[in-house]
Amino acid sequence: MEAVARRRTRDRLWVVHWLMAGLFVALYAAGMVMVDLPRSEFRGSLYGLHKSLGVLVLLFLTARIVLVLGTLTPARPKRWWVNALLHTALYTFMVLVPMTGYLLSNSGGHGVALFGLPLPSLVGKERVLHEAMENAHGWLAYTFAAFVAVHLAAQRKWAAATWKRLTVRNA
């Protein structure tokens, strides 16, 4: 019974993992495009979408943390601490990047909404904080992307095994 529940939780984690991965790809793409666009209605819509996806990431992250805490086991593979450090960094960036974006919007005098539903402002308009959050949001996003690249490189064995299973089954 417990094994079935643990398997369901792992399946849910897998779904949330890939939903978040897709959201982060969309966030990066929107972020890279929107900052270079001239002021227009499209640019404003893209900013709104970017903010909504950022809030959605925070909601999924909360669910993911709850699910992860339910699957922790005492078994530790070799070099478990490397995996723990990498995932701690990834989760830290998954919180910091959207939070600095939220503060960036608020400190610039702009609201944040989740697909049209207005969310509370955490801070008022503040030029110095806005400049700090602008720098932090960009640098944290790029640093997070670097950690994601390390995470992808670390998954090469899993990817190779999955590819082998898929190609052998279909051959």
Band (pLDDT 50/70/90 cuts) for residue 142 is: very high
Confidence at residue 162, expressed as pLDDT on a 0 to 100 scale = 77
Band (pLDDT 50/70/90 cuts) for residue 165 is: confident
Q: Position 136: which residue type? A: A
Please tell me the total count of domains within the chain.
Answer: 1
**Spatial CA neighbour of 60 closest among 68, 49, 50:** 68
Residue 134 belongs to domain with CATH number = 1.20.950
Q: Which residues contact 133 (CB under 8 A, 6 or more apart)?
A: 100, 101, 103, 104, 107
Confidence at residue 16, expressed as pLDDT on a 0 to 100 scale = 87
**Residue pLDDT, tens place only, 102-129:** 999 999 999 999 999 999 999 999 999 9
Confidence at residue 2, expressed as pLDDT on a 0 to 100 scale = 75
- Residue 60 neighbours by CB distance under 10 Å: 17
pLDDT at 48 > cutoff 80: yes
Residue 140 burial by Cβ neighbours in a 10 Å radius (0-12, 13-18, 19+): buried
d(CA 95, CA 90): 9
**Residue pLDDT, tens place only, 10-42:** 788 888 888 999 999 999 999 989 888 888 888
Greater confidence (158 vs 47) lies with 47
Confidence at residue 8, expressed as pLDDT on a 0 to 100 scale = 81
Average pLDDT over residues 128-157: 92
Residue numbers of the domain that contains 12: 2-170
